[in-house]
């Protein structure tokens, strides 16, 4: 039927696919940005209690289990592809397991988190993408929440990568 949003395979009734993609530029060199993005400490240290990020038997290597959890949040998954700059663009994939949720499994079920980094004329271009299944009526709110949440990421990166001195 025209105008209807296709429901992805495996989505509960009333859920639709949602993609949040965010790209920003940072003046730091690609190798430094990529090292920061692939350091588990970037995500495990400095978490605001009661939230926590855990890795099981490794870091950002394919197959390593990962979970980010806290009140109204359980994002458990496994690291997928991790590719360096061999093709000019570095890439990392985290696929969330069925049952992962934000706020409630009845509202938002993230399915994947991806990062790309590539050199640019003034440093590094970073792109991140969060794929989710979202209750149809919650889609606009989820878009707003994603924009607010990820808008702090460039500042966090800049603070962590600033040159000492």
List, for residues 129-144, the tens digit of each pLDDT value.
Answer: 999 999 999 999 999 9
Q: Are 51 and 68 in contact (CB under 8 A)?
A: yes
Tell me the domains of the chain and their CATH numbers.
15-161 (3.30.530.20)
List, for residues 60-69, the tens digit of each pLDDT value.
Answer: 999 999 999 9
What is the reported pTM? 0.92
Residue 142, judged by CB atoms within 10 A of its CB (0-12, 13-18, 19+), counts as buried
Q: What pLDDT score does 70 carry?
A: 96
């Amino acid at each position: 039927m025209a105008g209807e949003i296709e429901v992805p395979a495996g989505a509960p009734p009333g859920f639709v696919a949602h993609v949040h993609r965010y790209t920003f530029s940072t003046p730091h060199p690609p190798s430094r940005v990529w090292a920061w993005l692939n350091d588990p400490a970037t995500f495990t240290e400095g978490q605001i209690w009661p939230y926590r990020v855990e890795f099981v038997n490794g870091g950002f290597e394919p197959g390593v289990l990962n979970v980010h959890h806290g009140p109204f949040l359980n994002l458990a998954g496994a690291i997928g592809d991790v590719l360096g700059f061999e093709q000019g663009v570095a890439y990392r994939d985290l696929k969330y397991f069925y049952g992962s949720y934000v706020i409630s499994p009845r509202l938002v079920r993230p399915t994947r988190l991806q990062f790309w980094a590539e050199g640019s004329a003034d440093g590094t271009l970073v792109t991140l993408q969060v794929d989710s299944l979202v209750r149809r009526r919650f889609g606009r709110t989820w878009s707003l929440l994603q924009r607010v949440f990820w808008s702090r990421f460039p500042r966090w990166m800049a603070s962590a990568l600033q040159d000492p001195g």
